[in-house]
Amino acid sequence: MTDYIDISAKTERLHQIIENFLALPGSDLVGNQRDILEMVDILVAITGVDLTPNSALDCHTATASGKAVSLVTAGRCALEFMRSQVFMRGCYQAICDQQNGRNPVEVLYGGTGPFGLLIIPLLPFFSADDIQVTLLDIHQPSLDYVKKLIDVLGVQDRIRTIECVDILKWPVPHAHYDVIVSETMTARLHAEPQVAIFTHLISGLKPAGALVPQEVTIDAALQSYSHKGDDALPIGRLFTLNRENVQALSRGDNTCLKCQFEAPAQTTPAHVSLFITTDICVYDGHVLGENQCSLNLPLRYDIQDVSPQSRFEVEYVMSDMPELVVKHMAVPKVPLSPVWEDQSPAGLPALVTWWRFMESEKRGGDGKAALRASVTAGQRQELMGLLNLNFPDDLARIYTCRTIEDLETLILTRNGGTISPALLASLGEFAKAAESGGAAKPV
């Protein structure tokens, strides 16, 4: 009898805590940590789960598309009070928005952990006519704890089915669900299979259904030594996980996984850090931003030789260890006052002097006259002839090159994709003659 009273009091208190934060203004959630920790204590007491790190239950499972974290790790995520509140509030609103008064809202929840936190504690706020839930998890012990919570809350009639399965191998009913929920991620969508799971499950979402989280965005900026936000230079959005991109991925269109960015024109050598952030729109205004939970922890790492000509190549790699790969394509250092025999990054003599000359022409300024004297019109025309560049047709293309590598790419295109030994020899002879002051061919 005592145990019954104790459990009844705990479930009543659980209901009060959730009812309270569902009604709070979003700005007040940050002051609600004590209630969320109490909520987790109640869930632990009801289910009997041991969330001690490194216990026997703290074992991750590797899948073909990322790591399925242990039930201990999944359960401890509930302790992140902003994360728990914002996700639960977003799920609650998504369910309410899908109600039509005729049929129950069909919810698919992939990756429940031991509490089914994002959905199960919300079920007492709905009737069986309001909602029916399908629960999936790869770990049977997690589902055993979820079943205990379902029984204690008395919401068995709101459960459509519970299955222990690798979600990526589960046969998805077509356009069956009003809401699909899965929170199987870390910051930058690293290591865990969130992208792959949504890509697999998206075919089960009704056309007007809701995907939760609704959108995950990963952005980057350059920061200077000071690491102050006000001097950050945004580079761009590296990746977006949302319904549109997930649908494209499910069709085999991987375009959204890759992108390129140029460094901002205001970039200086002082911008030595790349700062990457993860923002989450759980659903319709329920958002998590920088440092609000572990999912929003920014990543900062040092980069070298950054300049306004730098490029960044980005790819989100879907594999057994998903990761966002950002490559800084630094512009090779080119001598400011080159001699003709200096070689370009691809090993071409004479090109560096010509490149610096063209830079001075585009830029103008004090150094222009001195550099202009080092490259005559005749030398320029002779060099273009040697490189199989069309004069004057290719001249406009040359002057649009942002880096010496872009110029090398144009040269390779005009030479069938390769630089022959004969061309290298001719360029070497040209460079020697120009360096010694030999006459160029007449214009």
346-386 pLDDT, tens digit each: 889 988 888 888 877 776 544 444 443 468 888 888 999 99
Quick one: angle between helices 81-98 and 33-47, nearest 10?
A: 80
C-beta separation of 283 from 93 below 8 A: yes
Of the listed ranges 122-136, 271-285, 390-404, the one predicted with least confidence: 390-404
Give the closest residue to 181 by CA, choosing from 122, 254, 256: 122
Q: Cα 165 from chain centroid?
A: 27
The side-by-side arrangement of strands in the sheet containing 205-212 is 159-164, 131-137, 105-110, 177-181, 205-212
Question: CA–CA separation, 104 vs 106, rounded Å?
Answer: 6
- Cα distances (Å, whole numbers) of residue 315 to 64, 302, 324: 19, 19, 6
Split at pLDDT 50, 70, 90, the class of 309 is confident
pLDDT recorded at residue 365: 45
Indicate the Cα dihedral angle 55, 57, 62, 66, nearest 10°.
-90
Is residue 230 scored above 90 in pLDDT? no
Is residue 5 scored above 70 in pLDDT? no
Average pLDDT, the chain: 91
pLDDT recorded at residue 169: 97
pLDDT recorded at residue 372: 38
Q: Report which of residues 401 and 106 the model is more confident about.
A: 106
pLDDT recorded at residue 439: 44
Element (H, E) at 287: strand 286-288
C-beta separation of 36 from 115 below 8 A: no
pLDDT recorded at residue 368: 44
Angle at 223 between CA 218 and CA 226, to 5 degrees: 140
pLDDT recorded at residue 229: 60
Tokens of 117: 């936190």
Instruction: For residue 27, give the DSSP letter.
Output: G
C-beta separation of 119 from 91 below 8 A: yes
Split at pLDDT 50, 70, 90, the class of 398 is confident
Q: Cα 324 from chain centroid?
A: 6
pLDDT recorded at residue 379: 87
**Mean pLDDT, to the nearest integer, of 42-48?**
97
Burial of residue 419, with CB atoms counted within 10 A of its CB: 0-12 exposed, 13-18 middle, 19 or more buried: middle
Half-sphere exposure of 424 (CA within 13 A, CB side): 10
pLDDT recorded at residue 367: 40
Quick one: angle between helices 2-23 and 140-153, nearest 10?
A: 90
Element (H, E) at 2: helix 2-23
pLDDT recorded at residue 295: 97
Question: CA–CA separation, 306 vs 310, rounded Å?
Answer: 6
Measure CA of the first residue to CA of the last residue in the chain; give whole Å.
Answer: 105
- The 10 Å Cβ neighbour count of residue 372 is 13
Measured over the CA atoms of residue 291, residue 297, residue 298 and residue 302, the dihedral's sign is positive
Q: Report which of residues 255 and 341 the model is more confident about.
A: 255
Question: CA–CA separation, 149 vs 154, rounded Å?
Answer: 8
pLDDT recorded at residue 441: 41
105-110 vs 177-181, strand pairing mode: parallel
pLDDT recorded at residue 99: 97
